Structure 1
Amino acid sequence: MNTAYRVWDGEQMHYWDDEGLILELMGNEWVLWRDFGDGCSVSIAESHEEGKALMWHIGLLDKNNNAIYEKDIDISDGEPMIVVYENGHYGLKFPDDSTYFDFCMNWKECEIGGNVYENCVLVEGVE
């Protein structure tokens, strides 16, 4: 099972291997904690908070050996597509067409140019 994740807290991205992070999963809910090691921890982001997002690593790398996560942006064909998880499969969607879904048979051809939270300019104006 893949346990690599990242969480957008509304301002910055936190990765599974950042020191002191603890992801607590409770059904469909989640909380990302920062453990300071002295018995003190603080919530960084929670699933019910607006603008927060948990994204899983899909377990594959792009053509530049970058880890691919949900909500990453593939820029390989000049038309940005967003990595999504739908009906038990990872695939790509155009930002302006929620009905199109490409199963992306060869993820090694993808080129990740960022993600929808930190690099939204890559998908702006696509309509």
Structure 2
Amino acid sequence: MNTAYRVWDGEQMYYWGDVNLNLLIKGKEWTLYKDSAGLCPDIVASSQDGKSVFLKVTDQFQTHGKLRPIYASDIVQQEETAPGGLYGPEPFIGEVKMIDGQWCIVNEKKEECRPLFSETATNKVLGDVYQNPELLEGVE
């Protein structure tokens, strides 16, 4: 089974489908390996190293510009497209998180959470919390 994922190792983001990378998941532990010329593959990142993070893909895609999957920890801007929409015309920016089995956009400063899926709104990925943490600093 191929499942989209990405891994942040504290310095760099790795994506499923990257050449020469393999992910091994055993129970609750995971390891990202890079094929090498030798007999033993090189460990790139692991759940045991204390700095790496395994990020799952959501079931949603960016609906602005280039179609791309949305991952956990992405920073997303959601805008209503329907007049008199449920949340009003103001764009909503927050981090994508799984809450009670549903992918949500969470704005901790506003103490607000919205579903990532919406039939009346568009989602645009602005960055992610690891490579672009400044995107959440001024969010109100």
TM-score range, shorter chain: 0.7 to 0.9
* Structure 2 SS opposite 1:123: helix
Distance in structure 2 (CA, Å) of the matches to 1:28 and 1:123: 30
Gap runs ≥5 in structure 2: 80-90
Q: Mapping of 1:25-104 within 5 angstroms?
A: 25-36=25-36, 38-63=38-63, 64=65, 65-77=67-79, 78-96=91-109, 100-104=112-116
Cα offset for 1:47?
Answer: 1.1
Q: Is the 8 A contact 1:2 1:59 kept in 2?
A: no
Distance in structure 2 (CA, Å) of the matches to 1:87 and 1:37: 44
Distance in structure 2 (CA, Å) of the matches to 1:92 and 1:29: 27
Gap runs ≥5 in structure 1: none
Deviates more, 1:104-113 or 1:13-22: 104-113
- Show CA shifts across 1:2-53 (max 9, x none): 6000000110100001011111112221111111255331111111323311
Larger radius of gyration: 2
* Structure 1 SS opposite 2:137: coil
Aligned length: 126
**Percent of paired sites with the same residue:** 33
Q: Is the 8 A contact 1:80 1:95 kept in 2?
A: no
TM-score under structure 2 length normalisation? 0.77
Cα offset for 1:59?
Answer: 2.9
Q: Is the 8 A contact 2:34 2:41 kept in 1?
A: yes
Cα offset for 1:75?
Answer: 2.4
The one-letter amino acid paired with 2:115 is F
Distance in structure 1 (CA, Å) of the matches to 2:2 and 2:104: 17
The one-letter amino acid paired with 2:130 is Y
User: What's the C-alpha RMSD, in Å, of the aligned pairs?
Assistant: 2.3
Distance in structure 2 (CA, Å) of the matches to 1:110 and 1:97: 19
